[in-house]
């Protein structure tokens, strides 16, 4: 440790720490533009010039390491004169169009200019103008405002792993752009908007819709993947206008995926269902809540009088409280056909119990792994925030291997194990190689011969101090999912690696916690073959099932269907008998359980649209109308406490006997675009205009 004096204040710091970091830790303000704590040091804006005793000129605080006994002045006449000079140069070519700029009111350039700028410019020549660059449907460029801080360039290169922006030209002719004009396609591109200290990169969906100071802020949890990114929802007039990241170093740091950032457009969709509706004699009519709920109860009672062949289906993006009450109501009615795993094909493990998907490493620890095996996963698109952590590990020297149905475009170096034999047999080869190295024998891979590539993977996992096997979405969509899980468990067990079955949707872990599983009933695939009635929560069968056509046909053939949904559509009007409008994630209070099992509760950010209600409240009333016990909740916290008292079972794969398939079934896997995963995202126009919205144009290797 060394002692540094800044503005007369003595501070202890680690030798080699940059002066700007030391000052920040002591809450001493130093202006900056190019510096960002998550990016490399560029030292190109010079706004952080400070007066260091013994130095013949002001030094940039972001690139000056501290030394013992250093004396620094951030507000001396010398420092202030240097900072004012830099500010004057930065404003020479800036258009000063604050009144029409979306960044106005939250602009770093504005804030710093208030302290270090002059009220009159000495520059009277013509200002330069830079043409705007097309950057796709998410980012709007106004490059005349650009001050060349290069934060966006460094983000793409260092964090997102896709250097889509760069600088061309020099001096007055230097421009930030894509060189060859094209869209910015990274699944993390929206973070460039947050990083831009001026209005050069702004949100295209948000553009010109509201001024920053008119917005109300509400903390929330992202509702589309299992990472549970912390977010802030900005609203005006009870409408969500923007979503930005809320810093949480243990989860999403300061970043946010584009799916979580721009999906809010779906909340404001014209397709929102705002009033309860029932179908009588083939005709839809809008009714009040009392009538709709009574109609639902009577219709379900008519079916239940003769049969308990009722399917209860929900999206895993529903809250813990919603899932728990729905399954509690169903079981209270004697119905056991309860499931959320609509895209899964192979349910072979269910006979042994339900294994809760879980990320066994904490999200922070992932970046410290030495070896990672991705099994059936396009992690970059499935869980972008987790992928950033794996990328950090890879950049630090970790070895990353994949066993996939096809080659994908990762943003770090991976070694692909792929052949005509198929994913299952490639994985079996790795398991065999691990067993051979460890001197173990296992009947599952007794007839398998490992090749050189598989042996390399096995050796790397065994040699690593910290290794993990991640089983991703592609595995979970595979017809041989049970075998893949068993092989992955065998590899992890023999190599002393951790095995993580990655939850994909926002609340898969919460669904297990809430008991939203068919313990003594039919699974989703079996229900899709036909049921007498359905109760659906936040799902669209045609888009959310592995076989959407089959599921839709089952809905149409059912005697009675109740849809609790946030959206209206012609398709569901064909098969549903009741449409009950429910609140989206921004309009309700609830809890999501992330991939690590962390329970994160959130409050309502805006009031539900029209007459929509929080789903847990609807289910509470339905439970009362069915005269079921235990539905007298006043607050969602009461529901949550009841869930915590519940017990969930787990499966130990190594105790399960299973055999390898006789054929390669990789071709049967139906990939799903990250922007088609749930009803809200599917209604976000800006996301639907990106290449990733179509699985055929989603990045490949």
pLDDT of amino acid 645: 67
- Tell me the pTM: 0.95
**Do 344 and 379 belong together in one domain?**
no
Residue at which a domain ends, from 213, 242, 267: 267
516 shares its domain with 568? yes
Residues 340 and 396 in one domain: no
pLDDT in tens, 328-344: 999 999 999 999 999 99
Predicted confidence at residue 183, as pLDDT, reads 79
Predicted local distance difference test score (pLDDT) of residue 419: 76
- Residue 287 vs residue 666, higher pLDDT: 287
| Ranges 115-119, 452-456, 530-534: which has the least confidence | 115-119
Q: Which residue has the tokens 């209600």?
A: 613
Residue 649 clears pLDDT 60, i.e. is over it? no
Q: For residue 360, what pLDDT is reported? A: 95
Query: Average of pLDDT values for 547-570?
Result: 96
Do both 64 and 140 map to the same domain?
no
pLDDT band with cut points at 50, 70 and 90 for residue 351: confident
Q: What is the pLDDT of residues 154-205, one digit of tens each?
A: 999 999 998 889 988 888 788 898 877 777 889 999 999 999 999 999 999 9
Q: Which of 502, 534, 556 is the last residue of a domain?
A: 502
Kindly state whether residues 375 and 497 are assigned to the same domain. Answer: yes
Residue 689 predicted with pLDDT over 70: yes
In a domain, residue 81? The reply is yes
Strand order, beta sheet including 216-221: 216-221, 230-236, 239-245
- Is residue 101 in a domain? no
What is the distance between the alpha carbons of residues 229 and 248, in angstroms, rounded to a whole number? 8
**Segment 197-225 mean pLDDT:** 95
586 domain residue, yes or no? yes
Given a cut of 80, is residue 598 above it in pLDDT? yes
pLDDT of residue 367: 96
Q: Flag whether 116 is in a domain.
A: no
Report the alpha-carbon distance of residue 242 to residue 692 in Å, rounded. 21
Contact 49, 58 (CB under 8 A): yes
**Region of 597 on the Ramachandran plot (φ > 0 left; ψ -120 to 50 alpha; else beta):** left
3-state secondary structure of 402: strand
Instruction: Assign residue 31 the CATH number of its domain.
Output: 3.10.20.740
Same-domain pairing of 375 and 317? no
Q: Report the domain count for the chain.
A: 4
User: Given a cut of 70, is residue 650 above it in pLDDT?
Assistant: no
Cβ(48)–Cβ(62) below 8 Å: yes
| DSSP-H helix ranges across 249-288 | 258-262, 264-267
> What does the pLDDT look like over 91-137, one tens digit per residue?
998 998 999 999 999 999 999 999 999 888 888 888 889 988 888 99
Tell me the C-alpha distance between 495 and 467, whole Å.
8
Give me the pLDDT at residue 700, please: 57
**Residue 219 belongs to a domain with what CATH number?**
3.30.70.20
State the pLDDT at residue 651: 64
Say what the pLDDT of residue 654 is: 66
pLDDT band at 605 (very low <50, low <70, confident <90, very high): very high
List the structure tokens of 63. 């690139």
User: Do 515 and 600 reside in the same domain of the chain?
Assistant: yes
What share of the chain in percent tops pLDDT 70? 98
Same domain membership, residue 470 and residue 394: yes
Q: Quick one: 88 and 194 in the same domain?
A: no
> Is residue 597 situated within a structural domain?
yes
Q: Is residue 421 part of a domain?
A: yes
What CATH number did the domain enclosing 407 receive? 3.40.228.10
Print the domain residue range for 244. Answer: 123-267
Q: Are residues 258 and 288 in the same domain?
A: no
- DSSP per-residue string spanning 431-496: HHHHHHHHT---GGGTT----HHHHHHHHHHHH-SSEEEEE-HHHHTSTTHHHHHHHHHHHHHHHT
Residue at 568 is within a domain = yes
Q: Which residue has the higher pLDDT, 173 or 398?
A: 398
Distance of CA 412 to the CA centre of its chain: 19
Mean pLDDT for the chain?
Answer: 93
- Give the domain-ending residue among 217, 248, 267: 267
88 plus 222 within the same structural domain: no
pLDDT at 46: 94
The residue with greater pLDDT, 128 or 264, is 264
Residue 652 has pLDDT above 70, yes or no: no
**pLDDT tens digits, one per residue of 410-428:** 999 999 877 778 999 999 9
Region 586-614: mean pLDDT is 96
User: Would the pLDDT of 627 be above 90?
Assistant: yes
617 and 545 part of one domain: yes
Q: What is the mean pLDDT of residues 256-285?
A: 96
453 φ/ψ angles, rounded to the nearest 5 degrees: -60, -40
46-98 pLDDT, tens digit per residue, is 999 999 999 999 999 999 999 999 999 999 999 999 999 999 999 998 998 99
Query: Phi and psi (nearest 5°) for 541?
Result: -50, -40
In a domain, 679, yes or no: no
């Amino acid at each position: 440790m060394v002692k540094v004096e800044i503005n007369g204040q003595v501070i202890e710091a680690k030798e080699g720490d940059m002066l700007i970091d030391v000052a920040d830790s002591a809450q001493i303000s130093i202006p900056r533009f190019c510096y960002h704590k998550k990016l490399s040091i560029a030292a190109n804006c010079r706004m952080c010039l400070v007066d260091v005793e013994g130095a013949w000129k002001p030094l940039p605080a972001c690139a000056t390491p501290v030394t013992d006994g250093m004396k620094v002045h951030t507000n001396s006449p010398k420092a202030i004169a240097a900072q004012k000079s830099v500010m004057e140069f930065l404003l020479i070519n800036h258009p000063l169009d604050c009144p029409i700029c979306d960044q106005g009111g939250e602009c770093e350039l504005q804030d710093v200019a208030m302290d270090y700028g002059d009220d009159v410019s000495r520059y009277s020549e013509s200002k330069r103008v830079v043409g705007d660059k097309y950057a796709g449907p998410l980012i709007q460029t106004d490059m005349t405002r650009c001050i060349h801080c290069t934060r966006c360039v460094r983000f793409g290169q260092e964090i997102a792993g896709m250097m889509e922006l760069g600088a061309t030209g020099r001096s007055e002719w230097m421009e930030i752009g894509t060189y060859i004009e094209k869209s910015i396609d990274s699944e993390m591109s929206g973070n460039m908007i947050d990083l831009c200290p001026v209005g050069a990169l702004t949100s295209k969906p948000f553009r010109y819709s509201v001024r920053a100071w008119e917005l109300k802020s509400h903390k929330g949890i992202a509702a589309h993947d299992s990472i549970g990114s912390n977010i802030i929802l900005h609203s005006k007039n009870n409408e969500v206008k923007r979503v930005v990241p809320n810093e949480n170093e243990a989860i999403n740091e300061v970043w946010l995926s584009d799916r979580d950032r721009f999906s809010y457009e779906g909340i404001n969709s014209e397709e929102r269902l705002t009033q309860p509706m029932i179908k009588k004699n083939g005709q839809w009519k809008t009714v009040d809540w009392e009538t709709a709920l009574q109609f639902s109860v009577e219709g379900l009672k008519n079916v239940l009088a003769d049969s308990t062949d009722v399917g209860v289906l929900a999206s895993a993006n529903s809250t813990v409280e919603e899932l728990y009450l729905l399954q509690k109501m169903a079981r209270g009615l004697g119905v056991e056909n309860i499931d959320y795993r609509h895209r899964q094909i192979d349910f072979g493990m269910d006979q042994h119990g339900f294994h809760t998907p879980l990320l066994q490493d904490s999200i922070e620890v992932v970046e410290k792994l030495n070896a990672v095996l991705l099994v059936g996963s396009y992690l970059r698109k499935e869980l972008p925030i987790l992928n950033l952590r794996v990328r950090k590990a890879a950049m630090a020297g970790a070895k990353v291997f994949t066993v996939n149905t096809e080659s994908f475009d990762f943003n770090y170096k991976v070694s692909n194990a792929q052949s005509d034999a198929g994913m299952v047999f490639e994985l079996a080869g790795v398991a065999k190689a691990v067993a051979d190295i460890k001197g173990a024998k296992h009947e599952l891979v007794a007839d398998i011969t490992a090749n050189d590539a598989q042996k390399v993977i096995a050796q790397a996992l065994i040699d690593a101090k910290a290794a993990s096997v991640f089983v991703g979405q592609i595995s979970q969509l595979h017809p041989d999912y049970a075998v893949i899980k068993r092989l992955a468990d065998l590899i992890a067990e023999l190599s002393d690696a951790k095995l993580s079955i990655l939850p994909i949707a926002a609340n898969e872990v919460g669904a297990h916690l809430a008991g939203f599983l068919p313990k003594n009933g039919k699974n989703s695939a079996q229900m899709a073959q036909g049921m007498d009635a359905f109760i659906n929560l936040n799902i669209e069968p045609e888009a959310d099932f592995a076989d959407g056509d089959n599921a839709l046909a089952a809905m149409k053939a059912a005697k009675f269907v109740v849809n609790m949904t946030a959206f209206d559509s012609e398709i569901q009007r064909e098969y549903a008998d009741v449409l009950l409008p429910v609140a989206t994630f921004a309009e309700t209070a609830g809890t999501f359980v992330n991939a690590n099992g962390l329970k994160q509760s959130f409050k309502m950010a805006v009031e539900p649209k029209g007459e929509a209600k929080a789903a847990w409240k609807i289910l509470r009333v339905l439970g009362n109308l069915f005269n079921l016990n235990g539905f007298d909740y006043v607050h969602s916290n009461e529901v949550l406490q009841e869930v915590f008292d519940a017990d969930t079972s787990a499966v130990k794969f190594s105790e399960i006997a299973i055999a390898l398939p006789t054929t390669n079934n990789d071709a049967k896997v139906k990939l799903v675009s990250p922007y088609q995963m749930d009803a809200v995202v599917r209604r976000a126009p800006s996301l639907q205009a990106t290449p990733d919205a179509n699985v055929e144009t989603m990045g490949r290797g």
